[in-house]
């Protein structure tokens, strides 16, 4: 009898641990899945505190006199039940975070789809980048030359700042997918290499 209860407890503990780790991934969706990174970042050190709380609650409940069971039997029955409630809470958190992020991502993708269609009609595709540009900010002449080369290929560079928002970054892939096909048709094969070479020559000079 105890063997089955112990196995049940271990199974629930493992499931709860997995759910606790999974919450970090789903509430940060669409982050790239990297199990080792997720384990490091999910603050696993708080998990023992959760088990301590459920163990204490199970101890208090098992101390009550009911069903004429001994303390060990009551504890082994109550402990997985309380952990199952915690498991349900973490599953809810993960599902709620995933659904919200998925909905926001879909809305952002729709936004960038419309942006792509509009920019294609204008013939001006926006290439977004974060952080600083590789050109010195005081070299205005070189910057203008680079912008001129990019515009010949139908491209405008836009600095979006240093903050990287995962959902927005992922949604931009939809924009790139649609506009890249247009740029290939407009500029012909190998246009990226030609443009990069022209920009490199400008920087070098």
Q: What is the dihedral of CA 139, 133, 117, 32, to 10 degrees?
A: 180
Residue 1 pLDDT:
64
Query: In whole angstroms, what is the distance from residue 31 CA to residue 167 CA?
Result: 8
Each residue's pLDDT tens digit, 75-134: 999 999 999 999 999 999 999 999 999 999 999 999 999 999 999 999 999 998 775 544
d(CA 198, CA 151): 12
Q: What is the pLDDT of residues 176-195, one digit of tens each?
A: 999 999 999 999 989 999 99
Q: Is the pLDDT of residue 197 over 60?
A: yes
- DSSP characters over 118-176: HHHHHT-EEEEE-S--SS-TT-HHHHHHHHHHHHHTTEEEEE--S---HHHHHHHHHHH
Highest mean pLDDT among 5-9, 85-89, 159-163, 200-204: 85-89
Element (H, E) at 128: strand 125-129
Give residue 137's pLDDT band: very low, low, confident or very high (50, 70, 90).
Answer: very low
Tell the burial category of 68 from Cβ atoms under 10 Å away from its Cβ (0-12, 13-18, 19+).
Answer: exposed
Give the integer Cα–Cα distance in Å for 133 and 161: 11
Q: Which residues lie below 8 Å from residue 62, measured CB to CB, with a gap of 6+?
A: 71, 74, 75, 78
C-alpha to C-alpha distance for 18 and 25, rounded to whole angstroms? 11
Structural tokens at position 59: 């101890």
Question: Average pLDDT of the chain?
Answer: 89
Residue 2 has pLDDT above 90, yes or no: no
Bridge partner list, 155? 125
Per-residue model confidence (pLDDT) at position 67: 65
pLDDT score of 131: 59
DSSP lists the bridge partners of residue 128 as 158
Residue 70 pLDDT exceeds 50: yes
CB atoms within 10 A of CB 14: 10
- pTM, full prediction: 0.76
Q: For the chain, what are the domain ranges?
A: 2-103, 123-204
Q: How many angstroms separate the CA atoms of 141 and 130, rounded? A: 22
């Amino acid at each position: 009898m105890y063997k089955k209860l112990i196995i049940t407890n271990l199974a629930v503990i493992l499931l709860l641990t997995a759910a606790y780790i999974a919450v970090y991934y789903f509430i940060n969706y669409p982050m790239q899945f990297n199990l080792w990174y997720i384990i490091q970042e999910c603050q696993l050190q708080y998990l023992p505190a959760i088990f301590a709380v459920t163990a204490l609650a199970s101890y208090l409940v098992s101390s009550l006199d009911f069903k004429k069971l001994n303390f060990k039997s009551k504890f082994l029955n109550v402990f997985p039940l309380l952990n199952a409630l915690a498991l349900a809470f973490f599953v809810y958190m993960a599902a709620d975070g995933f659904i919200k992020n998925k909905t926001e991502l879909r809305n952002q993708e729709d936004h960038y789809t419309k942006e792509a269609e509009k920019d294609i009609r204008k013939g001006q595709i926006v290439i977004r980048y974060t952080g600083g540009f590789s050109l010195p900010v005081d070299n205005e002449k070189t910057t203008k030359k680079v912008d001129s080369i990019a515009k010949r290929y139908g491209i405008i560079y836009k600095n979006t700042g240093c903050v990287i928002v995962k959902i927005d970054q992922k949604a931009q892939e939809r924009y790139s997918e649609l506009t890249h096909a247009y740029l290939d048709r407009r500029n012909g094969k190998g246009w990226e290499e030609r443009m990069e070479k022209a920009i490199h020559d400008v920087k070098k000079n």
